[in-house]
Amino acid sequence: MRLKVAPRLNVAPRLPENRKVRAGIAILVLFALFALAGPFLVEDVFGLSATAIHTADGMQPPSGEHLLGTTATGEDVLAQLVVGSRVSLLVGLVAAVISTTLSVLVGVAGGYLGGTADALLTAGTNVALVIPSLPLLIIVASYVKGRGGWLTVALIIGLTSWPWGARGKRAQTLSLRRRDFVTAAEMTGESRWWIITRELIPSMAPLISASFLSAVVLSMFADAGLSFIGLGNINLTSWGSMLYWAQNASALARGAWWWFIPPGACIALVGIAAGLINFGIDEIANPRLRKPSRAVRRRAAAAALRTPEEAR
């Protein structure tokens, strides 16, 4: 029988009480629902199509018939936005799974094992950190262009975006590895692999989930950027490919704001959600960043008004 000593039960399952974190999670959940159920709603219930081309209807501003207007070739922007959310989110999720897994393995293993293994892993992380990732992403994506769909893009993003996370997780591991629960596990003769996977990684769950969320968002940004310059899969409807086609048809010069503002705004909203979550997590980790709640401030103000005698 194996002893469970990691202090994990009190962290993972509860929803954080921080309001910023909650707001951020709510926005992300909303988008996830959008991506899951939206395409059915739009196509089967409202009868809109993301790919139907009505050239006669091109470049229509928003109206009752097309709530967000149409593209140059007459596709419905709203339908594209909803259908495209799925691809964008999928790329973000898959890339984030890849990069988070890599960063956890490299960071935690390096931080825990120490010595030569750590020196090698840290050197590798540092090198990967200083080689600019977007140009690398662009080069690799343009070689594999046309081969493989969104999965290839997700794979490339995932493989180039792990070093930041690895660095953070190594730092966290360094502070955890001398704690009692790790020592206890070492005393009972558990293997290093067991300690890494069953003790260290679970106790870092909040940090890992936070960095996973920001990896999702950064991957979505990267995917949108790649698609925008025509890499990635531009024939698949996604927020990034919408921006590509809008740019391609000079939507800006023609004043067709309804074509590129919605996909960009969706990407931005996801970014804001991640920003809220990150900010909230900083506040949880560092209570000084927190603004005192209104009740506390009122009490403090009242206490300041009271004379010393009253306070006593």
Partner 1 sequence: MAADERVKDRPGRRVRLGAARYFVQRLGFYLAAAWIAVTLNFLLPRLMPGDPASALIAQMQGRSALSGEQIASIYRLFGDPGEPLWSQYVTYLGQVAHLDFGLSVAFFPTPVWEVISAGLPWTIGLVGITAVLSFVIGTAGGIMAGGRAGSRTDSVATPGAMFLNALPTFWIALLFVLVFGFQLAWLPTGGAYDGDLTPGFSAAFIGSVISHAALPALTIALGWSATWFIGMRNMMITTVSEDYVLLARAKGLGRTRVMFRYAARNAILPSVAGFAINIGNVVGGQLLVEAVFAYPGVGYLLYQSVASVDYPLMQALFLMVSLSVLAANFLADSVYGLIDPRAREGRA
Residues lying near partner 1 in the complex (CB under 8 A)? 123, 126-127, 129-136, 138-140, 142-144, 147, 221, 224-225, 228-231, 243, 247, 252-253, 255, 257, 260-261, 264, 267-268, 271-272, 274-276, 279, 282, 286, 288-289, 291-292
Q: Is 70 helix (H, G, I), strand (E, B) or coil?
A: strand
What is d(CA 236, CA 134) in angstroms, rounded to the nearest whole number?
A: 21
CB of 5 or CB of 246, closer to partner 1: 246
CB of 7 or CB of 255, closer to partner 1: 255
Report, in Å, the least distance between residue 188 CB and partner 1: 30
CB of 38 or CB of 262, closer to partner 1: 262
Report, in Å, the least distance between residue 180 CB and partner 1: 24
Among 79, 75, 68, which residue's Cα sits nearest to residue 245?
75
What is d(CA 69, CA 239) in angstroms, rounded to the nearest whole number?
A: 16
Q: How many CA atoms lie within 13 A of 197 on its CB side?
A: 6
Report, in Å, the least distance between residue 175 CB and partner 1: 13
* Residue 240 CB neighbours (<10 A): 31
CB of 26 or CB of 131, closer to partner 1: 131
The stretches of the chain forming alpha helices (DSSP H) are 19-40, 77-113, 115-130, 133-144, 150-160, 163-176, 180-187, 192-194, 201-203, 205-228, 239-248, 257-285, 294-305, 308-311
Dihedral, 148, 135, 85, 99 alpha carbons, nearest 10: 80
Report, in Å, the least distance between residue 220 CB and partner 1: 9
Tokens of 199: 């003790």
CB of 38 or CB of 225, closer to partner 1: 225
Report, in Å, the least distance between residue 258 CB and partner 1: 11
Spatial contact of 220 and 272, defined as CB atoms under 8 Å apart: no
Report, in Å, the least distance between residue 187 CB and partner 1: 28
CB of 67 or CB of 129, closer to partner 1: 129
Among 164, 110, 111, which residue's Cα sits nearest to residue 133?
164
